[in-house]
Structures are given as structure tokens and as C-alpha cells.
Amino acid sequence: MTISCSQCGSSFPDDFNFCLTCGKRLEEVTSPPSAAVTARPAASAEDGSGSSAKLLEALPALSLEEEDPTSITQVIDQGEYSVLVERVQALRNHVQGLARPADFDPRHFFAVFDRVRLKPWHVPDFVFSPSPSIWRVAAQTPVGMNGTFSLSTRLAFLPRGSSGGYGGEPRLRGLVMEPSASGYLQFAMLGLEVQQWRKEEVPHWAYASDWKWVCSSQRMKTLTAPLEAPPPHLAPFQRGLTEQHRRWLRQVDPQLRVRMRGEQTRVGGLAHSRWDGFAWLDCELSRPDGFRISRLEELGIGTVSRTGMGMPVY
């Protein structure tokens, strides 16, 4: 038996507690589950044969908001997102190859996001905080680059490093994002990248969570294929997929959406980390230059134990 969602009209099995397409909860759909289904006992989660509803209690759906006539929702194409990811990775490779922090030009960072620009009289800036920590991967990075970058912007007539004031957090002021889905996507990626550069030491970038949105079913298949048979060097440290995980991954909507409503925009969807598996990742943007991660909900699917491999934990 299947039921239909009152919000988007999609059909799905009656043992699901939300619409797989738009995330509308079971109690909000038009047809309630039958008494027989309600009374049916759920199998244990350990044996991999439990009901879909039980699985979905542990793996929450993407809870999209109610339809709003003033909002516009757009799905981001995987190709567009992949180009941005390649640009970001090329920039990281460039930074990791520098001999010293003074060689870094912050204009290169902001040039990656061509739909985000600086207002007149504003310039990009950064503060490099060296770290004394030594780890085995540090041998692959110039010694002078062991540390973190605090990227910021400032008025051109102010001295370097003055964007946050004394003892304050560096700020990103004077940024203007193009009022389009592509512009908001770039601003969200810029905000995520700034947070990583501030938090992670340059030599350890490859071992940070480094969340990336999945965007498409094709990309989802590429990511889940290795989980069925993990590479030998990861097999002892990676959690295998249960049957419930497989079912959920086949049916979940992995698309990346930009929802624009008034002065606020949300960019979000299913994300993946090489080390931390899958998660829901949503970013909230507000004009003129507000950014925050509004949701980062790890699902515990496809995780790799860093501690078992002797890697730093973030």
C-alpha cells in the first residue's frame, strides 16, 4: 500500500514517516497508515531487517519548510557545483605549495567566487596563526605553512589585521553576493571555506571533515559503491552498510537546493565527508553578508575511524 504527500503529490510506502521527495512528515500527509501497519511490531535495528520507519527515526529527513508564495526554490546542477569544488581544491593546492604565509595573496581566494564581490574601498585580508604542532603529514608541506589562516576583509585605509578589532573575530564585511541561486551557492561555499581555513592547520586540510554536497543520484552511487567493499587499507576502520542503510540511501533525495525568501536564503542538502560519511548540511545566508551553518546532522553512514588510523580528529 502507498500513500500520497499532500504537499508535492509523490507516492511512497505506508511504513515511511515522511515524504522522500519533499520531507513532509507522516502526520501531515493526506492518508494515514492503516491500523494493521500501525500495530505491526518493528524488528530490531541490529539484525538489519527493521522497518523503514525505525531507520528513519535514526536518520532524519531533510525537513523542508512549508511552501511560501514569496519563496523561490532552485535545484543546483551537479556540474555547476563540481566546477566550484575544483576551483577551491586548486586554490588549496596552491596554498599548500607556498613556502611561507607572506606569499599568500588573499585576492586569489576571493577570485574563486566570481559571483561574490567586494564593495568599493574594501580589500581582502588575512592573519596567519602559526602552530608548533608536528605531525607526519607535515613533511609534505613547507614548514612555514604549519598554521591557520583567518581570512577577512577591511577598509583599504585601515592597517592589515584590523578587520575584527582588538581581540575580535575577523569579519567579512563589504561583500556583495549576486542575487541568484548561483550567487548564493558561492557565498555559502565561501563561508564554509573560510571556516575551514580558520579552524584547520594547512597540513591537516586533507584529514578534516571537509563536507561536500552530494547534489545528484549519480554522485550518490559513486560515493556508496566503495562502502559495499571498502579498500583494504580502510576496511578495518570503516563501518559497513546495513540493509536499512542501503534502502535509505537508494530512496533519499540527494539534491542540493537553494531556497530564496526575502532577505534570507538557505542553501542545503545531503552532504558527504571522506571521513565522517553522510550528513544533512544547511547554510543560512542573510543580506548583506551574514553566514551561519544552521544544520549539520551527521547520519553515521560510511564513517571512518580516524583514531584507529592514527589521524587527528576534528
Cell numbers describing residue 294: 544552521
**What pLDDT shows up at residue 46?**
35
Q: Quick one: three-class SS letters along 95-132?
A: HHCCCCHHHCCHHHHHHCCCCEEECCCEEEEEEEEECC
Which residues are CB-neighbours of 74 under 8 A, at least 6 positions away?
181, 257, 258, 260
Model pLDDT for residues 146-180, shown as the tens digit of each residue: 899 999 999 999 888 777 654 566 788 899 999 99
Structural contact between residues 174 and 157, judged by C-beta atoms closer than 8 angstroms:
no
- The three-class DSSP label of residue 160 is coil
Structural contact between residues 33 and 26, judged by C-beta atoms closer than 8 angstroms:
yes
Model pLDDT for residues 93-106, shown as the tens digit of each residue: 999 999 999 999 99
Q: What is the pTM of this model?
A: 0.75
Is residue 21 pLDDT above 80, yes or no?
no
Model pLDDT for residues 191-227, shown as the tens digit of each residue: 999 999 999 999 889 889 999 999 999 999 999 888 8
**What pLDDT shows up at residue 302?**
83
Model pLDDT for residues 247-303, shown as the tens digit of each residue: 888 889 999 999 998 888 999 999 999 889 999 999 999 988 899 999 999 998 888
| CA distance between the termini of the chain | 44
**What pLDDT shows up at residue 4?**
66
